[in-house]
Amino acid sequence: MTVTLFLSALAKFLLGVVLVGLLIFLPAGTFSYMNGWLLMGILFVPMFFAGIVMLFKNPDLLKSRLQAKESSREQSMVVKLSGLMFLAGFVLAGLSIRFHWYVLPIGVTIGATIAFLIAYLLYAEVLRENTYLSRTIEVQNNQKVIDTGLYGIVRHPMYSATLLLFLSMPLVLGSVYAFVVFLAYPFIIAKRIRHEEAFLEEHLDGYRAYQQKVKYRLLPFIW
């Protein structure tokens, strides 16, 4: 563990808390938005403890996860589209509170919260199985194809986990309007996956054979 890595991770964590908080509560015009506090809690509390674990157990993985700048123009566009999706979705959720638009029943929020936490557990398992994961598309030194565990079911289990995470977020917030916006995510991530697979086919030994072994990219029996 290094002090620099700790401070960098802490700074990005706090920045994320502030930005998400602003996007949720500022459009709502109030802090009395319980669904907003619920999402903040289930999003950032597990993230904080996961970061602490990685800091001590696998600082190299944490460092790679903090490196979010894409060199590819196409992948940079994917990141920007995702950011626009979050911006529009969170703002719409907040506005629905401010202007008393339709809010989803509490049962939907509870179910979405459970789905979100399950997705977080899947995400944590992916990080445990694959220590080569970074936030940018690259092949690291001595990287090998992982084909066991969740990687034996779909080729991109991290994206499968984020799909469940992101689609459950607007439901936790109680906003059907935000959910419609977040339906763009499957199409955004499909674009990233196609580009990533083309890159891995060319640069990662054994990836073509892995594609033959595990047929589905994101969802079993679907795609």
Say which DSSP state 218 is in: S
Confirm if 151 and 161 have CB atoms less than 8 A apart. no
The reply to whether 67 falls in a domain is yes
Angle, in degrees to the nearest 10, between helices 157-172 and 106-129: 160
The reply to whether 83 falls in a domain is yes
Residue 128 is predicted with a pLDDT of 82
- Spatial CA neighbour of 151 closest among 200, 87, 110: 200
* Each residue's pLDDT tens digit, 3-39: 788 888 888 899 999 999 999 999 999 999 999 999 9
Number of domains in the chain: 1
CATH number for 143: 1.20.120.1630
Q: HSE of 125 in the Cβ direction (CA atoms, 13 Å)?
A: 16
Say what percent of the chain tops pLDDT 90.
45
Confirm if 123 and 165 have CB atoms less than 8 A apart. yes
Tokens of 158: 């991290």
The reply to whether 171 falls in a domain is yes
The reply to whether 223 falls in a domain is no
The reply to whether 189 falls in a domain is yes
* Each residue's pLDDT tens digit, 127-143: 888 776 655 555 665 67
Tell me how far apart the alpha carbons of residues 30 and 94 are, in angstroms, rounded to a whole number: 9
Residue 72 is predicted with a pLDDT of 64
The domain containing residue 115 runs over which residues? 3-213
The reply to whether 206 falls in a domain is yes
The reply to whether 84 falls in a domain is yes
Could you tell me what percentage of the chain is helix, strand and coil, using 3-state DSSP and rounding each to the nearest 5?
70, 0, 30
Tokens of 58: 């696998």
The reply to whether 118 falls in a domain is yes
Sign of the dihedral defined by the CA atoms of residues 88, 102, 19, 122, in that order: negative
Say which DSSP state 220 is in: T
Where would I find the beta strands (DSSP E) of 24-159?
none
* Each residue's pLDDT tens digit, 48-82: 888 888 788 778 777 776 765 655 666 778 888 88
